[in-house]
Amino acid sequence: MQEPVLWSDDYALNIEQIDEQHRHFFKLIGDLFLAVRSPQWEGEKALAALTHLCDYAYYHFDTEEKFFEKAEYPERVLHRKYHEEFRRQTQLFLSRFRAPTADGKKVLEEAAAFAQRWLTQHILAEDKKYVQCLKERGVV
């Protein structure tokens, strides 16, 4: 199993509210990795960690998307589609995890790997694109 990636300044956008939310996102993904590795597998705790990640994604993406609207960020429609894809995928993991015949550890491991890969790539490739626009238009 892969190791969780920790927050570093490489992911900083220098927008305090967004960076704080991204740091929390990293923590939630780390919690998924911890749940998978726990010597005493606790399905309810794992389910809570996955549910929290899904819920937090809605909260965080809503924050970004409000900034996009205020700034009239030109790539906001495309960026919103990336967010929708993450939400859709994490909801699928949640559904799979809840299935009576599910291998919970396997689903959680896949969810953690997906979320980590998506978040790190998304911040570096997509989120960094909107910083200048939001700052130039006085939104942040």
- 53's CB contacts (< 8 A; 6+ apart) are 25, 28, 29, 31, 32, 90, 111, 115
Give alpha helix (H) positions in the chain. 16-37, 43-71, 76-98, 104-122, 128-136
Mean pLDDT (the chain) is: 96
The CATH superfamily label for domain 13-136 reads Hemerythrin-like (1.20.120.50)
The answer, yes or no, to whether residue 139 has pLDDT greater than 90, is yes
pLDDT in tens, 30-79: 999 999 888 887 888 999 999 999 999 999 999 999 999 999 999 999 99
pLDDT of residue 40: 81
Give me the residue spans of the domains in the chain.
13-136
**Burial environment of residue 62 by CB neighbours within 10 A (0 to 12, 13 to 18, 19 or more):** exposed
The answer, yes or no, to whether residue 109 has pLDDT greater than 90, is yes
Model pTM score: 0.95
The answer, yes or no, to whether residue 92 has pLDDT greater than 80, is yes
